[in-house]
Amino acid sequence: MSANGITIALKDLRVEFRTMRMIVTMVIFSLMVIMAFRFAFLFYSAEAEPMIIAPILWVTFTFAGMFGLVSSFSKEKDTGSLQGLMLCPSDRFSIYLGKLLSNLVLLLIVDFAALLFFSVFFDFDYGGNIVPIVSLVILGSVAFTIVGTLVAGMSVNLKGRESALTILMLPLIILTVLMPAIIATSKALEGQIEDAWGEIRIIAMFSLVYLALSYLLFEYVLEA
Amino acid sequence: MIEIENVVKEFGRKGVINGIDLRIEKGDYLVILGPNGAGKTTLLKLISTLLRPSEGTIKIDGYDVKEDGVAVRRRIGVLGHVSYLYDELSAFENLRFYAKMYGVTLGLEEIRAILSRVKLAHRMNDLVGTYSRGMKQRLAIARAIIHKPKILLLDEPYTGLDLNGRKILTEMLRGFQKQGITTVMVTHDIERGYEMGNRLAVIIDGKIAADLRKEDMSIEDFKNRYAGLMGAT
Amino acid sequence: MDKRKVLDYVLLTGSLIFILITIFMAIYYVPLVGTDVSIVAQKPNEYTELELRVKGIVDDISGTSEFDLVDIGNSEFELNVEHNENLPSGLSEDDVVIVTGVLVDADALVFESTGIEIADDDTSAGWVAPYAQKIFYLHTPAAWASYLAFGIVFVGSIIYLKNGSNKWDTIALSSAEIGVMFCTLAIVTGPLWAKPEWGVYWRWEDTKLLTTFVMWMIYLGYITLRLGAGGRSVARIAAVFGIIGFMAVPLSFISSRVWQSLHPNPVGQSGGLSSEAGMTLMVGVIAMSFLYFYLLKKRVELEETKHKVEELKDDMEGEIE
Ligand SMILES: Nc1ncnc2c1ncn2[C@@H]1O[C@H](COP(=O)(O)OP(=O)(O)OP(=O)(O)O)[C@@H](O)[C@H]1O
Ligand SMILES: [Mg+2]
């Protein structure tokens, strides 16, 4: 099951890095979002107003991430090769796992690019907090992708895929991933990652819940 | 080999397959004919676990499509309306990917051998996106048989193939028939259907309108009966 | 009269009767929780100014009013204003109120006030607005009905995925719509109470409000998802979403218990509710449940009629061809 998941992920990434279709779009998209925030907070400095940092980062990750999620299924849905995957003799959950992995890799690349863009445009130095921040970004992205891959698989079958993804996904992640991640990142920025255990636990717990739900439900999603 | 019992498939509330019973024995070559929109593709998708029956059961080799999807999928090779191929990968990469997914490890030479059966070995490393329609269909055929399935489900397999391609495919299918592989083929070509199959079924409005053995009739008989069935609707 | 109709009437009259009972009980049966006011002042003379320490108070004061002052010694008095409708709103515990008035009867310690000033109006926790508090008997049952409705969405979705029964899909869809309606009612009535009680309509930092709002968003998403397309793959996707989204329901339900929340926690907390209030709440819950089942039944019937019409239309088109 997981072997096939990895095979699918490697195939996806091979296709992606050959065409660079999504990754370039997503990175540019995240750049645009950071720029938009830069202009929106024209007279603020990240050093002086640290509470704006974590929200800006996570909103950027979220929207850039959602941007990439839909296309992870839509291309294959439209060409029919998704059926090719469904015909393979393994649990349908392995398709979910494959997409989860490839989405995660793309998202992390975009996340790190966004962290860099932020530091450039807001003239901000993460300093000694870079390790906890990166760890939180990874944790949050894993959770985000767990939910996102499931919802993307759903919305690819719906009219208006992108808007459907946004409408269905945001309420699912706001309290379970986004808010705790923002709070935890704010704490990490103050150098107090130890205080963020509560938030980290919330993210981890809900990731497991969503993963279990995906395991149970993904086959129904695909077959639609 | 394939047991279909009282199967119904609804999309939303619209019945597309309206109660089909069919037993296909090992080694059978069943040809399915019928008008556009009759439900032929849907039936193949139900057998191949791409769709889930709303009612009734389908068993392949004793495995229920609803419960033992993995076992069912291992036994079938599917050639569908679409090729299931990735335009951004080469023919070689496509086959290697699907081979891995089916749990078969194929080396360069083995893949080259498979590709030369469909006369594509010389384009092995070109991206499938650069292939012509017929070439893609040939590659799709190679993809469908990569894991040596016991059952072949073919949805209009001759579409897009040139004369040579059709000859290759016919020979291949004959070969499989000799090996005792069960085949279900959907086609709109009555003559080819008659030539290839030993059993001919007609689906109209999601129901089996006729299920005939070839021995019992000449091609003229069959054409007349088919025309009669089509006229009746 | 056929049986389906009987059930209709039972549900409809049941809900109307129980709603009326709830309203009457809320107004006449439940005492206003006006609470104690203790006076920290010297023993009243003929004419004196009293400082009242207030723990939540009734509406406006206008004109003259009488309070019962009970001597509890040490020149402190307890003033019982439980049913007094003449004190200003927006006060809370530890607000110091200056009452100016005349002592009418020194033996009974009846004190007639002539005016009231608020010495210190910083707000803190407390039962401030007992009249607005009546909305609670609508608010809580509506919230309860929305939990019930979303629970049915959950159950219907599971059954639909398990055996593809269109009936349960229709039930899930209908229940989601009605649930959103009840949830909207709860979300709208909440602020109507919160404004006089808390001084603000909404508190974003409150987990109960937040989780409930997210729950509302989720089922709004569910409805949106079903709006566009008729049937086919949507039903299955919606069922999956109906199962995932249900997670928000227990989250909203327990949130005021598990995390600290300013939201009052009426059910299952010791000393939270007087028995009268509890009774009224129960009746309200029964009323809303009746209403829910009535609406659900009607909505499901409507949906089924819709499908029948579509089928007939299809058949007719077929015949014309
Ligand atoms: N996913 C779907 N959702 C709704 N209706 C569908 C879906 N797939 C097929 N149908 C309907 O089912 C009917 C049968 O379709 P199917 O593809 O099985 O026909 P077919 O017999 O293969 O026709 P053709 O000869 O054109 O290939 C058609 O009316 C089609 O509109
Ligand atoms: Mg077809």
CA distance C100 to C45: 11
CA atoms within 13 A on the CB side of A20: 3
Residue C124 falls inside a structural domain: no
In this prediction, residue C16 has a pLDDT band, given cuts at 50, 70 and 90, of very high
**Pairing of the two strands B151-155 and B182-186:** parallel
Closest residue in A to B129 (Cα) is: A79
C73: left (phi over 0), alpha (psi -120 to 50) or beta: left
- What pLDDT band is residue A1 in, cutting at 50, 70 and 90? low
CB of B57 within 8 Å of any CB in chain C? no
Cite the beta strand spans of A49-200 per DSSP E: none
B207: which strand partners? B204
Look at residue A174 and tell me whether its pLDDT is greater than 90: yes
Pair C178, C280 in one domain = yes
What are the residue boundaries of the structural domains of chain A, listed by start?
2-222
Confidence of residue C254 (pLDDT cuts 50, 70, 90): confident
Please indicate whether residue B39, judged by its CB atom, sits closer than 6 Å to ligand 1: yes
The torsion angle over the Cα atoms of residues C197, C199, C203 and C206, rounded to 10 degrees, is -40
DSSP sequence for C158-180: HHHHHH--HHHHHHHHHHHHHHH
User: What pLDDT sits at residue C113?
Assistant: 47
The b/e string for C285-312 (b: 16+ C-beta within 10 A; e otherwise) is bbbbbbbbbbbbbebbeebeeeeeeeee
13-32 in chain B: CB under 8 A from chain C? 13-14
In chain A, which residues have their Cβ closer than 8 Å to the Cβ of C248? 171
Which of B69, B84, B98 lies closest to A80 in CB terms? B84
Question: Nearest CA to CA, how far is B216 from chain C (Å)?
Answer: 35
Q: C113 with C162, same domain?
A: no
Ligand 1 pocket mutation, candidates B42, B50, B208, criterion most atoms within 8 A of CB? B42
The type of residue at C212 is T
**One domain, residues C253 and C156:** yes
Give mean pLDDT, residues B142-158.
Answer: 93
CB B136 less than 6 A from any atom of ligand 1 = no
C244 within some domain:
yes
Q: Nearest CA of chain C to the CA of A122: how many Å?
A: 28
Q: Contact, C49 vs C2, CB < 8 A?
A: no
Closest approach atom of ligand 1 to CA B156: 27
In contact, A80 and B79? CB cutoff 8 Å: no
Q: Cβ(A153)–Cβ(A99) under 8 Å?
A: yes
Q: Within this chain, do residues C106 and C216 fall inside the same structural domain, yes or no?
A: no
Amino acid at B166: R
pLDDT(B134) > 80: yes
- Answer whether residue C123 is part of any domain: no
B146 to A88, B117, B161, C93: CA distances (angstroms): 11, 12, 19, 80
Are C50 and C11 in the same domain? no
What distance in Å separates the CA atoms of residue B29 and residue B186, rounded to the nearest whole number?
A: 11
- Same domain membership, residue C157 and residue C104: no
Could you tell me if residue C223 is inside a domain?
yes
Q: Atom of ligand 1 at shortest distance to CA of B11?
A: 4
Check if the beta carbon of residue B207 is closer than 8 Å to that of residue B4.
no
Using the 8-state DSSP alphabet, how is residue B127 labeled?
B
Candidates A6, A12, A87: best to mutate against B (most CBs of B within 10 A) is A87
Alpha carbon of B126 to those of A100, B91, B132, B135, C198: distances in Å?
A: 29, 7, 12, 12, 70
Scan for tokens 């070109």, then name that residue: B126
First-to-last alpha carbon distance for chain B, in angstroms, is: 31
Closest approach of A15 to chain B, Cα-based (Å): 6
The 10 Å Cβ neighbour count of residue B122 is: 10
Average pLDDT value over all residues in chain A:
92
The ligand 1 atom nearest the CA atom of B35: 25
Q: Computed over its alpha carbons, how large is the radius of gyration of chain A? A: 18
Q: Specify the pLDDT at position A131.
A: 93
Please, which pLDDT band fits residue C266 given cuts at 50, 70 and 90?
low
pLDDT of amino acid C276: 76
More confident: C52 or B19: B19
Closest CA to B30 of B199, B144, B148: B199
Domain CATH for C138 = 1.20.120
Q: Are residues C203 and C70 in the same domain?
A: no
H/E stretch holding C99: strand C95-105
B183 lines ligand 1 (CB under 6 A): no
Helix and strand totals (H; E) in chain C: 7, 6
Confidence at B147, pLDDT banded by 50, 70, 90: very high
Instruction: Give the per-residue pLDDT at C262.
Output: 65
DSSP assignment, residue C42? P
Comparing CA positions, the residue from B226, B214, B164, B153 lying closest to residue B189 is: B226
Out of C50, C83, C118, pick the residue that ends a domain: C118
Percent helix, strand and coil across chain C, each rounded to 5? 55, 15, 30
Cβ B91 vs Cβ B76: under 8 Å: no
> Given pLDDT bands bounded at 50, 70 and 90, which one contains residue C119?
very low
3-class DSSP state for residue B89? coil
DSSP category for residue A45: -
**Residue C70: which of C48, C37, C92 has the closest Cα?**
C37
The identity of residue B2, as a single letter, is: I
- For the ranges A193-207, C68-82, C228-242, the one whose mean pLDDT is highest: A193-207
Distance between CA atoms of residues A58 and A46, nearest Å = 15
Backbone angles phi, psi at C166, to 5 degrees: -60, -30
Ligand nearest to the CA of B14: 1
Q: Is the dihedral of CA C231, C237, C239, C245 positive or negative?
A: negative
Geometric angle at alpha carbon C18, from C17 and C20, rounded to 5°: 65
Tell me, yes or no, whether C72 and C188 share the same domain.
no
**Ligand 1 atom, smallest distance to B206 CA:** 14
Q: What mean pLDDT do residues C289-310 have?
A: 92
Tokens of C204: 């974003």
Specify which residues B7 forms β-bridges with: B20
B125 Cβ below 6 A of ligand 1: no
Query: Which residues of chain B are within 8 Å of residue C235 when distances are taken between CB atoms?
Result: 12
Chains touching chain B, criterion 3+ CB pairs below 8 Å:
A, C
Q: Is residue C68 part of a domain?
A: yes
The helix (H) or strand (E) run that includes residue C232 is: helix C232-245
Phi and psi at B63, nearest 5°, equal -95, 130
pLDDT band at C108 (very low <50, low <70, confident <90, very high): very low
| Pick among B65, B81, B97, B130 to test the A interface (most A CBs inside 10 A) | B97
> Alpha-carbon dihedral of residues C270, C272, C276, C277, nearest 10 degrees?
-140
In DSSP terms, which residues pair with C216 in a beta bridge?
A: none
Question: Is residue C166 located within the same domain as residue C92?
Answer: no
Q: Is the pLDDT of residue B19 over 80?
A: yes
Q: Give the ligand 1 atom nearest the CA of B39.
A: 18
CA of C228 to the centre of ligand 2 (A): 27
Is the CB of residue B187 below 6 angstroms from any atom belonging to ligand 1?
no
Contact (CB<8Å) C314/B14: yes
Match 């649990």 to its residue by tokens.
Answer: A91
Chain A nearest-CA residue for C158: A217
Q: What is the mean pLDDT of residues A59-67?
A: 93
Domain membership of residue C252 (yes or no) is: yes
Query: pLDDT higher for C189 or C261?
Result: C189
Closest CA to A100 of A207, A21, A19: A207
Question: How many folded domains does chain C comprise?
Answer: 2
Q: Which domain holds residue C300?
A: 3-27+129-320
Are A167 and C221 inside 8 Å of each other by CB? yes
Q: Model confidence over A88-122: pLDDT tens digits?
A: 999 899 999 999 999 999 999 999 999 999 999 99
Of C202 and B93, the structure prediction assigns the larger pLDDT to B93
- Pair A38, A122: CB distance under 8 Å: yes
C231 and B54 in contact by Cβ < 8 A? no
**Residue-wise burial string across A95-124, b where 16 or more C-beta atoms lie within 10 A, e elsewhere:** bbbbbbbbbbbbbbebbbbbbebbbebbeb
Residues 66-95 of A with CB under 8 A from B: 79-81, 83-92
Q: Match 């989250």 to its residue by tokens.
A: C251
Calculate what percentage of chain C has a pLDDT beyond 70. 59
Residues of C in contact with A175 (CB under 8 A): 210-211, 214, 251
pLDDT tens digits, A179-218: 999 999 999 998 888 889 999 999 999 999 999 999 999 9
Q: How far apart are CA A161 and CA C5, in angstroms?
A: 42
**What sign results for the dihedral spanned by CA atoms B161, B162, B163, B169?**
negative
Closest Cα to atom 9 of ligand 1? B42
C180 shares its domain with C59: no
**φ, ψ of residue B70 in degrees (nearest 5):** -65, -45
Q: Is C63 in the same domain as C95? A: yes
Residue type, A174: I
Given this model, what pLDDT does residue B230 score? 80
Contacts of A83 in chain B (CB under 8 A): 50, 80, 82, 84
Which residues on C lie below 8 Å from B10 (Cβ)? 164, 166
